[in-house]
Amino acid sequence: MKVLLIGSGGREHALAWKLAASPVLTKLYAAPGNPGIAGEAECVAIDIADHAAVAAFCRKEAIDLVVVGPEAPLVAGLADVLSQAGIRVFGPSAAAAQLEGSKSFTKELCDRQGIPTAAYGRFDNALAAREYVREHGAPIVIKADGLAAGKGVTVAMTVDDALNAVEECFDGGFGAAGASVVVEEFLQGEEASFFCLCDGKTALPFGTAQDHKRVGEGDTGPNTGGMGAYSPAPAMTDALIERTMREIVEPTLKGMAEMGLPFTGVLYAGLMLTADGPKLIEYNVRFGDPECQVLMPRLKEDLLVLMNAAVDGQLAHMSARWRDEAALTVVLAAEGYPANPRRGSVIRGVDEAAKGEDVVIFHAGTALKDGALVANGGRVLNVTALGGSVKEAQARAYTAVDRIDWPEGFCRRDIGWRAVQREG
Ligand code: AMP
Ligand code: GLY
């Protein structure tokens, strides 16, 4: 099978690495890819925002399956253009991708299907939003309705902060994403990420993880795309997985199908494990980054076979088994991340570091310049390790991190702390 993978981050390197291990694969292309992905795939310089160009490439190369990594092309309708051209694609239509692209779309679905989530109000003007904030008090959560690259959410601990966040949204701070605002109840508990493969009718549970969104140790400082992750999430017991499937994921697939928007691809539920049970914080319509980097090394199955089954509506016949080991990934970021990462510094020792026991290093924001590996983004490398416990995986990952020679990079030294504490 000839496969085209869309994307260029650490998530896509992990997907490329796993797809490349499939006996069914004959050729893997990646657009645009990165220097790490280039070890697994032929990288092609197609503009992935040019959907017609992607479709033309697929026809020319007789691509059997397109796998879309990031959300932006899905929300923009890449899967629709490909499907209309008769090209098989793993990833939801633009209409189904509203589960990530529009917070109010998901909230309304939750209302209709009785899915547990935070109580909320949706507002098109600041006046009404301010009133709601004053009425409910703090803590309270303010969210730009649309896609804001993970930056549209303010967890406000005071009414003043909440009112400022409302202003920021309506002042155009998040562009079109902030034209409408969701204000919701603050949920208390432990967060966990839960993944399912979906074929429109059936959802196959596909692993759990926890990430660290804050840039600083002890989960402090500004939010980022994620500074590290581990899998499985110890808090997600089998009983909680079963309950999440029954109360959250299955009603979602049913509701989407009823609306004529069957969901195909990865459904990533961000959950708050509250005293009243799991509640949906948000949906994403793709793998997490860096959560994917800890799922793939644990997956025992052929990812390509499972993705094909999802596209063909055959997931009811499939299962997913996982290695018992824990996986943990540490994100190495460029100085200045997340506000203003500095590009261009040289990184040495990655291949040596990757020789560590049960270590695999995924590239995120890297580039080659005059034969040298350089930083080319905010999150740059994902140093991943397996271990008999989170603690062991953590020790192996940091041993590999310390072998990388990159003075202009940094990482958190406490990835996995909560799980390690739980292990005792
Ligand atoms: P989101 O982009 O919706 O995942 O929100 C980013 C982060 O904000 C989440 O991972 C949570 O840590 C936090 N958050 C979002 N919604 C809530 C909520 N209703 N209660 C508490 N924390 C929340
Ligand atoms: N790591 C969080 C996300 O991918 O949305």
378 near 334, Cβ under 8 Å? Answer: yes
Candidate of 104, 153, 174, 194 to mutate for ligand 1, largest count of ligand atoms within 8 Å of Cβ: 153
380 near 192, Cβ under 8 Å? Answer: no
Q: Which pLDDT value is given to residue 179?
A: 75
d(CA 354, CA 357): 8
- How far is it between the farthest Cα atoms of the chain? 60
Distance 287 CA to ligand 2 centre (A): 8
Q: Which pLDDT value is given to residue 404?
A: 98
Residue whose CA is at the smallest distance from ligand 2 atom 3: 288
Tokens encoding 147: 């896609």
404 near 347, Cβ under 8 Å? Answer: yes
CA distances from residue 243 to 221, 240, 252, 277 in whole angstroms, order as listed: 33, 5, 13, 8
d(CA 274, CA 279): 7
CA distances from residue 355 to 10, 30, 80, 296 in whole angstroms, order as listed: 18, 25, 41, 18
Q: Which pLDDT value is given to residue 319?
A: 96
d(CA 327, CA 371): 31
245 near 325, Cβ under 8 Å? Answer: no
Question: Which domains does the chain possess?
Answer: 2-93 (3.40.50.20), 125-179 (3.30.1490.20), 190-317 (3.30.470.20), 326-423 (3.90.600.10)
* Other CB atoms within 10 A of residue 314 CB: 14
Residue 404: closest CA among 295, 293, 343, 330: 330
CB of 226 closer than 6 angstroms to any ligand 2 atom: yes
In 275-341, the DSSP E strands lie at 277-284, 326-334
* Other CB atoms within 10 A of residue 268 CB: 23
Q: Which atom of ligand 1 is nearest to the CA of 103?
A: 3
3-state percent breakdown (helix, strand, coil) of the chain, nearest 5:
35, 30, 35
263 near 352, Cβ under 8 Å? Answer: no
Type of residue numbered 245: M
CB of 225 closer than 6 angstroms to any ligand 2 atom: yes
Q: Are strands 65-68 and 2-7 parallel, antiparallel or unpaired?
A: parallel
40 near 52, Cβ under 8 Å? Answer: no
Q: Which atom of ligand 1 is nearest to the CA of 188?
A: 21
Q: Are strands 203-211 and 190-199 parallel, antiparallel or unpaired?
A: antiparallel
253 alpha carbon, distance to own chain's centre: 19
Kindly state the DSSP code that residue 348 receives in the 8-state scheme: B
Distance 276 CA to ligand 1 centre (A): 17
Which residues form the pocket of ligand 1, taking CB atoms under 6 Å from any ligand atom?
118, 141, 150, 153, 155, 184-187, 191, 213, 270, 281-282
d(CA 304, CA 119): 39
Distance 269 CA to ligand 2 centre (A): 10
Distance 33 CA to ligand 2 centre (A): 19
Nearest-ligand number for the alpha carbon of 225: 2
381 near 361, Cβ under 8 Å? Answer: yes
Q: Which atom of ligand 2 is nearest to the CA of 291?
A: 1
Kindly state the DSSP code that residue 411 receives in the 8-state scheme: -
d(CA 190, CA 210): 10
Tell me the pLDDT of the chain (424 aa) as tens digits: 999 999 999 999 999 999 999 999 999 999 999 999 999 999 999 999 999 999 999 999 999 999 999 999 999 999 999 999 999 999 999 999 999 988 889 999 999 999 999 999 999 999 999 999 999 999 999 998 877 665 678 999 999 999 999 998 888 776 666 678 999 999 999 999 999 999 999 999 999 999 999 999 999 998 899 999 999 999 999 999 999 999 999 999 999 999 999 999 999 999 999 999 999 999 999 999 999 999 999 999 999 999 999 999 999 999 999 999 999 999 999 999 999 999 999 999 999 999 988 999 999 999 999 999 999 999 999 999 999 999 999 999 999 999 999 999 999 999 999 999 999 8
CA distances from residue 257 to 81, 170, 208, 268, 396 in whole angstroms, order as listed: 20, 33, 25, 17, 44
Q: Which atom of ligand 1 is nearest to the CA of 184?
A: 19
Distance 281 CA to ligand 1 centre (A): 6
Q: Which pLDDT value is given to residue 189?
A: 96
102 alpha carbon, distance to own chain's centre: 16
Type of residue numbered 257: A
Q: Which pLDDT value is given to residue 91?
A: 98
pTM above 0.75, yes or no: yes
Q: Each residue of 239-293: pLDDT tens digit?
A: 999 999 999 999 999 999 999 999 999 999 999 999 999 999 999 999 999 999 9
Q: Each residue of 84-115: pLDDT tens digit?
A: 999 999 999 999 999 998 888 999 999 999 99
Residue whose CA is at the smallest distance from ligand 2 atom 2: 288
Q: Partners of 266 in the beta sheet?
A: 197
d(CA 400, CA 383): 7
Distance 236 CA to ligand 2 centre (A): 17
